[in-house]
Amino acid sequence: MNETITNHDLPLGVEVRHLAALEAIARTHSFSQAAALLGYAQSAVSQQIATLERAVGHKLVERPGGPRPVSLTSAGEVLLRHAVHITARLGAAKADLDALTAGEAGILRVGTFQSASARLLPSTITRFREDWPRVTVELRNERPAAKLDELVRAGRLDLAFSDTPVQASPLTSRELIHDPYVVMLPPNSPLAELDEIDLDALDGARLISASTEDTCEMRVFEALERAGAQPQTVFRSDDNLTTQRLVASGLGIAIVPLLAVELFVPDAAVAVLPLAARHHLTRRIAIVWHEDRDLSRAAQAFVETAVTAAERIGLPAIPVLTSRQRATLVV
* Domain endpoint, select from 104, 139, 154: 104
The CATH number given to whatever domain includes residue 164 is 3.40.190.10
328 pLDDT tier (thresholds 50, 70, 90): very low
Same domain, 138 and 87: no
Same domain, 155 and 64: no
Rounded to an integer, what distance in angstroms lies between the CA atom of residue 159 and that of residue 9? 37
Same domain, 125 and 57: no
Q: Dump pLDDT digits (tens) for 213-253.
A: 888 888 999 999 999 999 999 999 989 999 999 999 999 99
Query: Which domain does 75 fall in, by range?
Result: 1-104
Same domain, 230 and 167: no
Report which of residues 169 and 163 the model is more confident about: 163
* Domain endpoint, select from 104, 133, 152: 104
Same domain, 207 and 248: yes
User: pLDDT at position 122, please?
Assistant: 92
* Mean pLDDT value across residues 17-34: 89
Same domain, 260 and 321: yes
Query: Is pLDDT above 70 for 105?
Result: no
Residues 6+ apart with CB under 8 A from 205: 229, 231, 232, 252, 253
DSSP three-state, residue 214 = coil
Q: Dump pLDDT digits (tens) for 121-141.
A: 999 999 999 999 888 999 998
Same domain, 67 and 121: no
Of all helices (H) and strands (E), which one includes residue 305?
A: helix 297-311
Query: Is pLDDT above 50 for 3?
Result: no
* Domain endpoint, select from 57, 80, 104: 104
User: pLDDT at position 101, please?
Assistant: 59
User: pLDDT at position 4, please?
Assistant: 45
Q: Are strands 61-62 and 254-257 parallel, antiparallel or unpaired?
A: unpaired
User: pLDDT at position 330, please?
Assistant: 32
Specify the length of the chain in residues: 331
The CATH number given to whatever domain includes residue 9 is 1.10.10.10
Count of domains forming the chain: 3
User: pLDDT at position 2, please?
Assistant: 46
User: pLDDT at position 229, please?
Assistant: 93
Contact 46, 40 (CB under 8 A): no
Same domain, 145 and 61: no
Same domain, 184 and 253: yes
> pTM (2 decimals)?
0.65
Same domain, 2 and 98: yes
DSSP three-state, residue 167 = coil
Query: Is pLDDT above 90 for 17?
Result: no
Highest mean predicted confidence (pLDDT) among 90-104, 109-123, 242-256? 242-256
